[in-house]
Amino acid sequence: MAPPLIQLKDITLTFGGTPLLNGVELSVSQGERVCLIGRNGSGKSTLLKIVAGLVDCDKGSRFVQPGSTVQYLPQEPDFSGFATTLAYVEAGMGPGDDHYQALYLLEQLGLTGEEDPHNLSGGEARRTALARVLAPEPDILLLDEPTNHLDLTTIEWLEGELASRRCALVIISHDRRFLSNLSRATAWLDRGQIKQIDRGFSAFEQWRDDILAEEERDQHKLDRKIVNEEHWLRHGVSGRRKRNVKRLGNLHALRDQRRDYRGVTGSANLAASEADKSGKLIVEAKGICRTYGDRKIVDDFTIRIQRGDRIGVVGPNGAGKTTMINMLTGTEAPDSGTIRFGANIEMATLDQHRESLSPKTTLAEALTGGRGDHVMVNGTPKHVVSYMKDFLFSQEQMRTPLEVLSGGERGRLMLARALAKPSNVLVLDEPTNDLDLETLDVLEDMLGDYEGTVILISHDRDFLDRVVTSVIVPEGDGKWTEYAGGYTDMLNQRGADLKREKATSAAESNKSSGKSESSKPAPKKKMNFKDKHLLDTLPKAIASFQADIAKQQRHLDDPNLYKKDRKKFDTVSAALSGAQKGLAEAEEKWLELETLREEIENA
């Protein structure tokens, strides 16, 4: 097995009370792809900061292989002191790093490098932070929720980018599909300790359930053993005193073992407060249009949503998903077309920005609106502590200000607020953000049992496949199409992902409107930053390959090399073959780019 690039031993960390981390062991070797799994509040982000060297532990050791480089992606990057996104990205690079990579990655992520970091949206901030950690090409990448606030096309681009890299990965994410596609090992942080297997996330849930079932059986055996020993203590026949004292000591040890056992945290108890049943029709939109300036956001869209439908709206950031939902729910009026709403509709909404609440507001005040100690659920008052426990908050957190809650805890709080309102239509904008896997499971079950209608925006492909009955997708130039089934079903029907289909749809649109492709001026070709850099550096690489080939050839010119040192002969032959292959590929790429450069200059 390869030596670890980074290793933690016996890590212990306590913030008062029960240790957050207790004897944690973790090692990551070259090229390993580890997903770090655990409940919200279990200490995953704190552990990743210890791996990155940003947080000191109370006890234990951290080892990093000398010369290895580590890059850490935080959930909330700090842009203070940077005038542009390019300056922020370049600040994370070393003197030997290729600064073309900064511009190339920003370009790939839809940014120019000139943006003011302090005016970025959540998605733009995440993309800028990703460019910063990817640009130096480190040996170890530590990613804390890399897909948060990213749209589907960017998530899929990021998957491909990470899959093509040779660096070691440690990823915290609640995106099942993302973890399944990238991870090759799983580290489960549970009740302060790490359990690890050399299998990816796709094997995690069954493995976890097997461990918990075995643990439950062991605790049942322990309980029975304690009962038997207590029965002996009260009713057993007296034997030799020395033996009895020892047996009594064993009983005390069993009781201590039972008392020290940290049981599994219960699951959230999500239930929506349901209003009276709505009419069969929820909303009918015919030929609705919406524009901003010269840009068409929605153009001639028609849909009929009926009671019980589960509608998912997907697409790149900025495509108009929120505008689409706002029109379908009556928050915004279309510029043209008609929208008709059914009878007896009661909507509950979870918006993307999780509503603006003062950071000083306590958890109890946020749930009750500052009015008393009860929450109205299904028309019945329920004590706020009891309602908090349904969403995995403890009684001690009742007076906790929102500013100290984790991202997952804030997500659960806003779900609790939205679900307390009586409704027969749930409108959810990014409901899965920051929720842990167990809470996601419960949310999926709740939506499955909900008798009303659900309209949601999500970039979680697995969640969409499990929940929705149809998907609305932007096709470009304001055109939207509804596809039956989940996200995977939509891709199968379209035959391509969103990014590729966007260009195809534009071509089809021109064709249907009588405009031929030949009648349009061809887009002007240009070289991106990566191509320009390759064109500049490939001659040096070609010269290096040629020198290596000459060196290996000199070794092979010795006619007795095979007899004298068979191992060296094989090594030299392999090196020569690799250098020749590299030279051929470099020359071919240089010729391709040089031809492209000449075409652009002569255009």
pLDDT in tens, 47-104: 999 999 999 999 999 999 999 999 999 988 999 999 999 999 999 998 888 888 999 9
Q: How far apart are CA 534 and CA 537, in angstroms?
A: 5
Tell me the torsion sign for CA atoms 442, 445, 449, 450.
Answer: positive
pLDDT per residue over 125-147, tens digit each?
999 999 999 999 899 999 999 99
461-474 burial: b if 16+ Cβ within 10 Å, else e: bbbbbbbbebbbbb
Architecture of domain 4-206: 3-Layer(aba) Sandwich (3.40)
Mean pLDDT of 112-118: 92
pTM for this model (two decimals): 0.70
Q: How many helices (H) and strands (E) does the chain have?
A: 19, 20
Instruction: State the alpha helices, DSSP H only, in 169-307.
Output: 176-182, 204-235, 241-260
Mean pLDDT of 407-430: 82
Per-residue pLDDT for 314 more than 50? Answer: yes
HSE-CB for 59 with a 13 A CA cutoff:
10
239-252 burial: b if 16+ Cβ within 10 Å, else e: eeeeeeeeeeeebe
Phi, psi dihedrals of residue 549, rounded to the nearest 5° = -60, -45
User: pLDDT at position 509, please?
Assistant: 38
Could you count the other beta carbons within 10 Å of the beta carbon of residue 551?
Answer: 13
Query: Taking the mean position of all CA atoms in its chain, how far away is CA 171?
Result: 8
Give the C-alpha distances (Å, rounded to integers) separating 360 from 296, 393, 404, 530. Answer: 41, 18, 9, 47
Assigned token pair, 538: 């490939």
User: pLDDT at position 504, please?
Assistant: 36
Assigned token pair, 510: 């021109």
Kindly state the percentage of the chain with pLDDT values over 90.
Answer: 37
C-beta separation of 141 from 170 below 8 A: yes
In sequence order, which residues have a C-beta less than 8 Å from that of residue 7 and are 6 or more positions away?
26, 27, 28, 62, 63
CATH number of 281-512: 3.40.50.300
Per-residue pLDDT for 122 more than 90? Answer: no
User: pLDDT at position 313, please?
Assistant: 94
User: pLDDT at position 162, please?
Assistant: 94
Q: What is the mean pLDDT of the chain?
A: 82
Per-residue pLDDT for 513 more than 50? Answer: no
Domain 529-602 belongs to what topology? Helix Hairpins (1.10.287)
Strands across the sheet containing 336-341: 295-306, 281-292, 336-341
